[in-house]
């Protein structure tokens, strides 16, 4: 949208004496919300359930996540169908203006419920980059669909980073091809691919 300009002449008492359009505003492109309310509700509930399960040892170990985020994207169109951040706030609290007490409660919460972790959080791409790494390795001939790499839980080079599963069960994923490595989010496999692509 191109902004317009309107000049308003005001008298000493503050009453409007005249309005003059100097430049008409021009409409820009339409913005369309693509959030699907049903998918949004399911995403928010699932995110909350997983975080609570982590805190209660539901995955075999007690974790203390400070927050979580999830986005559901239509891969054909790029439309955002759901975007959830946890913990969050109650939107109804802002209708008609939020009370100072509620604002302080949200603002002073160390878990930052006002932070939308999807668009305001600063995080490394982490496992989301594994798909790109896998495709690049296949495209550059650094691996094949069927080649398997052994994950003992620790990558033997550099500062010997560990696979995420090592911290959970003390071992690795074992033999992984690119498909299983993506399915299991195997760090050691993708460290190996990164090393191959670098050379």
Residue pLDDT, tens place only, 37-96: 999 999 999 999 999 999 999 988 888 898 999 999 999 999 999 999 999 999 999 998
- The answer to whether residue 191 sits within a structural domain is yes
Residue ending a domain, among 107, 136, 161, is 107
Same domain, 131 and 100: no
For 45, half-sphere exposure in the C-beta direction (CA atoms, 13 angstrom radius) is 6
- 53: containing domain: 37-107
Distances (CA, A) of 191 to 21, 128, 130, 143, 144: 62, 14, 9, 13, 16
Same domain, 155 and 194: yes
Confirm if 4 and 11 have CB atoms less than 8 A apart: no
SS3 53: helix
pLDDT at 1: 62
Question: How many structural domains compose the chain?
Answer: 2
- The answer to whether residue 73 sits within a structural domain is yes
Same domain, 131 and 178: yes
The β-bridge partners of 176 are 149
Candidate from 107-111, 116-120, 168-172 with smallest mean pLDDT: 168-172
């Amino acid at each position: 949208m191109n902004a317009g300009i309107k000049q308003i002449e005001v008298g000493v008492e503050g009453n409007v004496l005249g309005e003059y359009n100097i430049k008409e505003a021009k409409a820009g492109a339409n913005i369309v919300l693509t959030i699907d309310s049903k998918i949004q509700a399911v995403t928010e509930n699932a995110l909350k359930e997983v975080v609570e399960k982590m805190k209660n040892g539901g995955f075999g170990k007690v974790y203390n996540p400070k927050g979580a985020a999830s986005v559901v994207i239509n891969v054909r169109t790029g439309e955002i169908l759901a975007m959830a951040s946890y913990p969050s706030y109650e939107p109804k609290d802002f209708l008609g203006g939020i009370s100072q007490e509620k604002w302080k409660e949200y603002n002073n919460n160390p878990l930052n419920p006002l932070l939308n972790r999807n668009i305001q959080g600063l995080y490394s791409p982490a496992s989301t980059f594994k798909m790109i790494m896998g495709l690049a390795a296949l495209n550059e001939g650094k691996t094949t669909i069927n080649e398997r790499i052994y994950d003992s839980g620790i990558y033997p080079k550099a500062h010997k980073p560990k696979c995420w599963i090592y911290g959970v069960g003390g071992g690795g994923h074992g033999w992984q091809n690119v498909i299983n490595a993506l399915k299991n989010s195997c760090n050691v496999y993708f460290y190996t691919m990164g090393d191959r692509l670098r050379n």
